[in-house]
Structure 1
Amino acid sequence: MNEPVIQFEHVTKKYGEATIIPDLSFAVARGDFVTIIGSSGCGKTTTLKMINALIAPTAGDIFVQGKNIRDVDHIMLRRNIGYAIQGSVLFPHMTVEQNIAYVPNLWNKNDRKRTEAAIDKWMAIVGLDPAMKDRFPAELSGGQQQRVGIARALAASPEILLMDEPFGAVDEITRSSLQDEIARIHRETGITVLFVTHDIKEALKLGTKVMIMDHGEIQQYDTPDEVLAHPANSFVGRFFRNERHICTMPDDKIGECAYNRVHA
């Protein structure tokens, strides 16, 4: 078995006396698309931000590409990990081209053609018209802004992409289109993705693995089919019923009902 790209070993996160993550251990294989779901405050975003050292764990170890992140330069760590969040957070005073190029080593003043080719490549990958290069974020729709944010996250050609509810601020039609785009990008590039969402339909559509969290603990971590067909416990069963209103069957039968609905 190949060494995991990301590995948590007994990670704890506390804020004062409050424990957000009590004891978290899991591994992500290269090329996986892991969707992380759970109710608000369950530790999804905290888990994601600990991977690129935006949040430091209180205890335990996190390994990225086989290296303990405690022992690496955090700026260099982040340069090798793409990061896209809800609302894209573009620089308003920069054009689309400048926002995408705001990645170390992408903008090359001595080779303008190479830089432009790279920008055109990433705009095409995320489905943006190259004619938009000179527009500013305020001139773009929410979906277009989100695509620019994804292009910028991918522009350094990272092996890992972290996404924190990236499609949460767009309408349903745009959201579906963006989901299709990121699924295609994953298939074509083989990048390892960790994707936080509140939307269980989105989690099941995109994930090769689904991680369901509650109070900082993993309740189930498996393929979408397995999670649907065989909920690990009553929490996972109730989660499907409450979040998707799938059926009124008993908890131990909800997974069967969910599986039948999704695979109908």
Structure 2
Amino acid sequence: MPPCARSACSGVQQSTGLLHAQDDKQAAVVFEHVTKRFGDAIAVDDVDLRIDDGAFVAIIGSSGCGKTTLLKTVNALVMPDEGRVLVHGQATSSADPIELRRNIGYAIQGSVLFPHLTVEQNIAYVPTLLNSGDKDRTEAAVAKWMDIIGLPRDIMDRYPAELSGGQAQRVGIARALAASPDVLLADEPFSAVDAITRASLQDEIKRIHRQTGITVLFVTHDIDEALDLGDQVLVMEAGRAVQFAPPCDILRAPATAFVDRLVTRKRTVYAR
């Protein structure tokens, strides 16, 4: 479905410089004037926005614009130098990082599976820690997410080296979701697979989002992927969040010259 058609009733409103979600919805993640520096370089520059519970936000921008750094502030892999990040109302600076990450799935490019563990053991890794030795509960979690992701049971005893690229990426997503987190962070998870497999994985993650209602923050460098997947799209430029809006608004009313250049080739396809 074209982005304009599916985002027409998205319920976002214009505010100063950015688009913020309706205040009557619960916020899953809030960035309050977040800035992060690495030496003299500003990776994230005064990002101020909120993401509603259950949203699918695609984050796009040029290489080095701060997408991954912003994503990592959510699970406290990176801490802001200024401002704060709240996850379901709790500041990451005051949270136990281990407890915080138990409710946040993290899927990255290439899946990065444990090579010495089977598919079943990879997916079961976090549930085993959480379930305190309850083997039946862990096995149920593995079976549940293998079914949701669309992984056949006959690969459970295989090792990562025995999997195709698409299978390995699916296992990585299943592992990220196996503890039933509230938020999924995905950092260009499909960029290392071929175009056909990538399209299939995009369909899978959209289906998973619809089925589970999980909040997804999805970093990509592909404008087609961002417009297709995101209920909202966050465009970043040089560390700043320059526009946060549904795909239709990104296409019809780009907020800056950079956003306009980003979508100019897509506007005639989607904005009808």
Please give the TM-score of this superposition, normalised by the length of structure 2. 0.88
| Aligned residue among 152, 165, 172 for 1:142 | 165
Superposed counterparts of 1:59-70, under 5 Å: 59-70=82-93
Number of residue-to-residue matches in the alignment: 249
- Secondary structure at the aligned position of 2:202 is classed as helix
Counterparts of 2:123 and 2:239, CA distance in 1: 34
Residue in 1 aligned with 2:47?
24
- Secondary structure at the aligned position of 1:134 is classed as coil
| Aligned residue among 249, 255, 266 for 1:226 | 249
| Aligned residue among 123, 138, 155 for 1:100 | 123
Quick check: 149-158 or 227-236, which moved more? Answer: 227-236
- Determine if the alignment matches structure 1 residue 259 to structure 2 residue 267: yes
| Aligned residue among 125, 133, 141 for 1:118 | 141
- Determine if the alignment matches structure 1 residue 235 to structure 2 residue 258: yes
Residue in 2 aligned with 1:37?
60
- Determine if the alignment matches structure 1 residue 201 to structure 2 residue 224: yes
The alpha-carbon deviation at position 111 of structure 1 amounts to 4.6
| Aligned residue among 153, 159, 175 for 2:176 | 153
The alpha-carbon deviation at position 70 of structure 1 amounts to 0.7
Counterparts of 1:199 and 1:128, CA distance in 2: 26
Counterparts of 2:256 and 2:41, CA distance in 1: 25
The alpha-carbon deviation at position 21 of structure 1 amounts to 1.5
Root-mean-square deviation (CA), in Å? Answer: 1.5
In structure 2, relative to structure 1, the CA distance for the partners of 1:261 and 1:177 (3 Å cut) is: same
Counterparts of 1:65 and 1:122, CA distance in 2: 24
In the alignment, is the contact (CA less than 8 A) between 1:3 and 1:66 conserved in 2? no
In the alignment, is the contact (CA less than 8 A) between 2:27 and 2:50 conserved in 1? yes
The alpha-carbon deviation at position 75 of structure 1 amounts to 1.1
In the alignment, is the contact (CA less than 8 A) between 2:35 and 2:80 conserved in 1? yes
1:140-183 superposed Cα distances (whole Å, 9 cap, x missing partner): 00110000000000000001000000001000000000000000
In the alignment, is the contact (CA less than 8 A) between 1:167 and 1:178 conserved in 2? yes
Residue in 2 aligned with 1:253?
none
Counterparts of 2:237 and 2:90, CA distance in 1: 28
Unmatched 5+ residue regions in structure 2? 1-23
- Secondary structure at the aligned position of 2:125 is classed as coil
The alpha-carbon deviation at position 219 of structure 1 amounts to 1.4
Please give the TM-score of this superposition, normalised by the length of structure 1. 0.90
Counterparts of 2:151 and 2:253, CA distance in 1: 40
- Secondary structure at the aligned position of 1:13 is classed as strand
In the alignment, is the contact (CA less than 8 A) between 1:101 and 1:107 conserved in 2? no
Counterparts of 2:237 and 2:207, CA distance in 1: 30
The alpha-carbon deviation at position 100 of structure 1 amounts to 0.1
Residue in 2 aligned with 1:255?
none
In the alignment, is the contact (CA less than 8 A) between 2:128 and 2:135 conserved in 1? no
Q: Larger relative contact order (C-alpha < 8 A, sep ≥ 6)?
A: 2
